Structure 1
Amino acid sequence: MEPLLTAAATWLDAVGIGPWARGSSLVYPVANTLHLLGLVMLVGGIGVVDLRIVGLWRTLPIGALSRALTPIAIGGLLVMAASGTILFAADGDALARSQTFARKLIVIALALANAAAFRLLWWTKFDDWRGAVPGAARAMAALSLALWLTAGALGRWIAYS
């Protein structure tokens, strides 16, 4: 993964994003703050839906909850992708060599794959779940929570590795 990340860092420098991110006293802290906001939106949105699917708040209809909160989670993911690109550009060479950063990217890929599989398998069935939620759906929701929280934790641990 390191050669791909090094190439990405080189390209971000060539198009000016890296120097811009490193050359301003505001860009990095603003991007970092936006990245945290995106994480809150993502985990706060999809996390509540996941917790409902796992078994909490059984009186809340899953379909309505998902329709209300999934767009917030997707918005958070987009904010994180944009701000994360800026954060990566600011220190791409070091991050390209970071095993913690590589693990974070792998966990994000797994979380996105789990989300895509969940949507393909269960999206149209939410309104049918008046009682018991299928065990596979509960397991995927629990996995979603674990993966997104792990990605967030790994993001914080990058500074210490």
Structure 2
Amino acid sequence: MLAIADALNDWGVGGWARSSPSAYPFANVVHLLGLVMLIGSIGVVDLRIAGLWRAIPLGPLARALIPVAAAGLVILAGSGLILFAADGRALAVSDTFQLKLLLIGAGLANVLLFRLLRRGRDPAADPTLAVRLAASLSLLIWLGVGTAGRMIAYA
């Protein structure tokens, strides 16, 4: 992580993020927008898979919201890079930031697990217990990512 922080500084991103009066605040607002898009969208899908709102067809709901969640994740990655560049050396050694990165990794691994569990299944079929557990875990992980991200300021 220190090498990435140093590279961002060498490329000028860190200095720009620190010295620009609008770069860091704008990146922070955009980061929050990405978080809302990710957790708001995938949270609804996860809750539906876990068993809530069974009257709402899962297929159309997932087709509508998963792209929003994916776009939120892309926005989070881009804005997060700018936020990291502004204070990368301190963040690289922060336990809270490390926890956030581990949770992001767990969230992405859970996406892969979920895809494996759903492969070859009829999208309209009721989710299996394993799929429901993966959806519940997804919701907890992404809420943990958001919580850890907000706690970085207090660590």
User: Does TM-score exceed 0.5, indicating one fold?
Assistant: yes
**Equivalent residue for 2:51, pick from 38, 52, 55:** 55
Give the drift of 1:117: 1.5
Q: Which residue of 2 aligns with 1:143?
A: 137
Q: Which residue of 2 aligns with 1:42?
A: 38
TM-score by length of 1: 0.93
Give the drift of 1:124: 4.8
Give the superposed CA RMSD: 1.1
Give the drift of 1:61: 1.1
Q: Which residue of 2 aligns with 1:157?
A: 151
Is contact 1:52-1:58 (8 Å) kept? Answer: yes
Is contact 2:58-2:124 (8 Å) kept? Answer: no
- What per-residue deviation string (whole Å, max 9, x for no partner) do you get for residues 3-46 of structure 1? xx100000000111101100111000000000000000001111
Distance verdict in 2 for CA 1:61–1:119, change over 3 Å: same
Using the aligned pairs only, state the percent identity.
Answer: 54
Is contact 1:114-1:144 (8 Å) kept? Answer: yes
Is contact 1:61-1:127 (8 Å) kept? Answer: no
Structural mapping, 1:100-111, within 5 Å = 100-111=96-107
Q: Which residue of 1 aligns with 2:7?
A: 11
Counterpart CA distance in 2 for 1:58 and 1:9 is 46
Give the drift of 1:123: 5.2
After the TM superposition, which parts of structure 1 deviate over 2 Å for at least 4 consecutive aligned residues?
123-128
Distance verdict in 2 for CA 1:157–1:126, change over 3 Å: farther
TM-score by length of 2: 0.96
Show structure 2 runs of 5+ residues with no match: none
Give the drift of 1:128: 3.4
Q: How many residues align?
A: 155
Structural mapping, 1:15-26, within 5 Å = 15-26=11-22
Q: Which amino acid aligns with 1:68?
A: A
Counterpart CA distance in 1 for 2:74 and 2:124 is 30
SS in 2 for 1:75: helix
Show structure 1 runs of 5+ residues with no match: none
Is contact 1:37-1:76 (8 Å) kept? Answer: yes
SS in 2 for 1:127: coil
Q: Does 1:93 align with 2:100?
A: no
